[in-house]
Copies of this chain bind each other. A is one copy, B any other.
Amino acid sequence: MKMSGGVEWGLHCCVVLSAADEPVVAAKLADLHDVSPTYLAKQLQLLSRAGLVRAAPGQSGGYLLTRPATEITVLDVVEAIDGSQPAFRCTEVRRRGPMAIPPERCDTPCPIAQVMDSADRAWRESLRAVTIGALAATVTATTPRELLDSARAWLSA
């Protein structure tokens, strides 16, 4: 099981965007993180479709958050990029093969699927509890002031 590597990029981009008041161009975000510009563009488009960021077209355009960073959860970003479907999908093995349980007697969901769904909910709940704003706060608290300032300056340049 492996989640799309674009999730990490998307989260970093959202944190950066939360600190910028002006639209930031996709290419600049790619340069900052030293990743493929075209592929990161794809991820940003996914964020745009999900309504988390807004694309300002035209000259001096770029991306900016649509909501305050404290109202965007990590789960939002993960689901926008990696999809919202659970990792485990029950194929109802019970109803197949020679010992198949007849569908009319299958009133209760498969116990295995129940366990998996429960774990999946716990995972999502854990991600929903943290917002981009909280992430940004941690970053600003743990990073030396000078680095933050120089980064912001480089971003505006």
Contact = CB atoms under 8 A, between A and B. Distances in A.
Interface of A: 1-5, 7-9, 11-12, 15, 31-35, 74, 82-83, 85, 87-91, 93, 96-101, 105, 108, 111-112, 115-116, 118-120, 122-127, 130, 135, 138-139, 142-144, 147, 150-151, 154
Contact of A8 (B3, B88, B151): B88
Nearest to A88: B3
Main secondary structure of the interface of A (DSSP, over half): helix
Contacts of A88: 3, 7-8
A22 to B, nearest CB: 17
A122 B112 contact: no
